[in-house]
Structure 1
Amino acid sequence: MRVLVTRPQHSGERTAKRLRELGHEPILLPLSRPVHDASAALRGLSTTKGSIAITSAEAIRALTSHAAELAIHRARAVFAVGDATAEEARTIGFTSVTASSGSGIELAETIAKQAGGAVVYLAGSPRAATFEKRANEIGLQIVVVECYRMEPIDPAPQTLETIFTHQRPDAILLYSRQTAKNFVRAAAAQMQDGSMDGMRFLCLSKSVAEVIPASLQSTVSIAEMPEERSLLSLL
């Protein structure tokens, strides 16, 4: 099966490898790029104590080239959404890492059960409000530190024409609501002229799926759990 991957380049290449291992043919179309702010991350860590919350591996990647400054923080408890993000944290030396399954809701509830005091949240922009909303509801105090932002990438019209006319993916993977919005905007012409007829939209969550136009909702499938393993199982 030919599968269009809309993740940023670094994450997209990892997904492409998994797709090949499953016998599929990936097509990479990054629709955003991360811009890291390591100074903000390190400043946030140095002015706080206690646990660290992470909902994306990009927060960890913001710190990868700052091993010396990070050394004094590696024993702090890290709570991450999903196994992949947790593994990224272990890779740069954090020694107490807990992965919550599911979304930011489960992350907030896991931290509330296992940690006390304020939690520093290494976050990106834009981001879903799920974790912060649930933390507020259950009285979990968080300190938000924005350490990366995702910039949209506008693919060239020729690139889109090649993909949807000559490569014809069978499925399109969409991991975030913002990426779905970027895709709908970039591929508006193809959505209107029938170029996407027969293609499936595989979405990580209901929130992501809501962005797909009503005329294409019959081709949408939603992962049972908001994690890549569950998403790829839809193929």
Structure 2
Amino acid sequence: MAVLVTRPHPDDEATAAGLRARGFAVLLAPMLRFEPVGFHDDEDARYGAVIVTSANALRGIAPHIKASRLLKLPLFAVGEHTAAAARGLGFENVIPANGDATALRDLVLASVKAKTLKKASTLLYLAGADLARDLAGELSERGFTVVTHTTYRMVPLSSLPRETCDAFAANRVEAVLHYSRRSARAFLDAARAAGVEISALAIPQCCISPAVASVVRDAGAMQVMVAASPDETALFAALDRALHP
């Protein structure tokens, strides 16, 4: 029996390693494909800080960031995973939030109260092409100027790997891990197209947030577990609860 990981590559490899260290067999079926979008820093723009809601946004600028002036700016990251990616690129002052956009917004606002960031600052938001919420708008309402640069897009994949389809047909998948609403929708569409939707929805669906869980519940899944916080440690704990109630 194996746990199916739908997370995009290359993050799926780290997830697989973490699961194997816990004794699980793993199947990989990334449902979104990363594509970088051309990035050009406007040298005339003056930013007070950078905000990032995904490590993928940093992967998108990686070829263009060496020796960039942006590396000297404070960078507010949505969580520790994204913060580690920022440090790996050379950002010198990285401030991580607690894993979601609300926490990131509140962290930026707290920095104003602490006088480590000016309220009139212009923020550079490195973002994906498809945004789950209007973080730029929320910060703009609170007095910031936010410049959004799209640095990547995630393209849904329309089919499951043959190995995954065979595993569902043989009832060799014991749970599925979901990391985003878009990847969950892509998984459901692909499972339906492959004729394995019933098998796929009959097993525990472990979701990183309530918003992701709503996608699989609406599709008919009955065993839906939600991480207590939007991070992988909590998602693994949800997996343990699902398999060892």
Counterpart for residue 196 of structure 2: 190
Segments of structure 1 that go 5 or more residues without pairing to the other structure are none
Query: Which string of whole-angstrom CA distances, capped at 9 and with x for unpartnered residues, describes residues 23-42 of structure 1?
Result: 111110011111112x42x3
Structure 1: distance between partners of 2:161 and 2:34: 22
1:135 counterpart letter in structure 2: L
Paired with 1:112 and 1:81, the residues of 2 have a C-alpha distance of 14
CA distance in 2, matches of 1:159, 1:10: 19
Structure 2 counterpart of 1:103: 100
Closer, same or farther in 2 for the Cα pair 1:166/1:207, shift >3 Å? same
Residues 66-85 of structure 1 aligned to structure 2 (within 5 Å): 66-70=64-68, 72-85=69-82
Deviations 1:45-104 (A, max 9, x none): 76341100001001111222335352x221100000111110010011101001100310
* Distance across 1 between alignment mates of 2:234 and 2:141: 27
Relative to structure 1, the CA distance from residue 85 to residue 7 in structure 2 (aligned partners, 3 Å threshold; closer, same or farther) is same
Aligned length: 230
Offset at residue 229 of structure 1 (A) = 1.3
Pairwise CA RMSD of aligned residues? Answer: 2.2
CA 1:166–1:44 in structure 2 vs 1: closer, same or farther (change >3 Å)?
A: farther
SS in 1 for 2:177: strand
SS, match of residue 173 in structure 1: strand
- For 1:149, the aligned partner's letter is R
Shift of 1:160: 4.4
Structure 2 residue 16 is matched with structure 1 residue 19: no
1:2, 1:136 → 2: CA distance? Answer: 45
Q: Give the distance between the partners of 2:99 and 2:66, measured in 1 at CA.
A: 32
Residue in 2 that maps onto 1:55: 53
Pairing of 1:176-187 with structure 2 (within 5 A): 176-187=180-191
2:216 aligns to what?
Answer: 212
- Partners in 2 of 1:45 and 1:168 — Cα distance? 54
